[in-house]
Amino acid sequence: MSVLKRWLPVVAWSAVILMTSNDQFSAAHTGGWLRELFPSLPDSINIALRKLMHLTGYGILGALAWRAARIDFQRAVPVLIAVVLLVACTDEWHQSLYASRGASPWDVLLDVVGAAIAIGLMIRRRP
């Protein structure tokens, strides 16, 4: 499998992440969607779901990057974390361009944690 084919899913998933860092996916909009479905849902649930999505989305990115790296895991982990950090910082910068969004270093940390958890799971399941 060529390097391009291995890394294409990482690039595609990164694009999905970056496409969701716009106004349509702001807390106000996602909260509105949830309130339509569950009118009495507290705002704290919206916040918790949004943070869970950070962990999940970047966990998927970490797993895809691990799959693409195909090198010794001791050398791969810093490279994979750097890839995730680049996407997370770009995502937060992009969010800062919208009045309804905000950039947060805590979200970058959460993103890296999500990827690190996935990478750790990939390392554990490695034969």
Amino acid at the residue 54: H
Q: Which of 92, 118, 83 is nearest to 22 (CA)?
A: 92
d(CA 65, CA 79): 9
CB-based contact 68:10 (threshold 8 Å): yes
CA pair distance 67, 120, nearest whole angstrom? 12
pLDDT at 28: 62
Higher pLDDT, 62 or 75: 62
Cα distance between the two ends of the chain = 20
**pLDDT of res. 47:** 81
User: What percentage of the chain's residues is helix, strand, coil (to nearest 5)?
Assistant: 80, 0, 20
> Closest Cα partner for 112 from 86, 73, 76?
86
- Each residue's pLDDT tens digit, 65-102: 998 887 666 677 888 889 999 999 999 998 888 887 78
- Average the pLDDT over each of 15-29, 76-90, 110-124 and give the range with the smallest value: 15-29
Q: How far is CA 1 from the centre of its chain?
A: 25
Question: Is residue 56 pLDDT above 90, yes or no?
Answer: yes
Cα–Cα distance, 83 to 94 (Å, whole number): 17
Instruction: Report the predicted TM-score, pTM, of the whole model to 2 decimal places.
Output: 0.84
Contacts with 110 (C-beta within 8 Å, 6 or more apart), sequence order: 51, 54, 55, 58
The mean of the pLDDT values for the chain is: 84
pLDDT at 74: 66
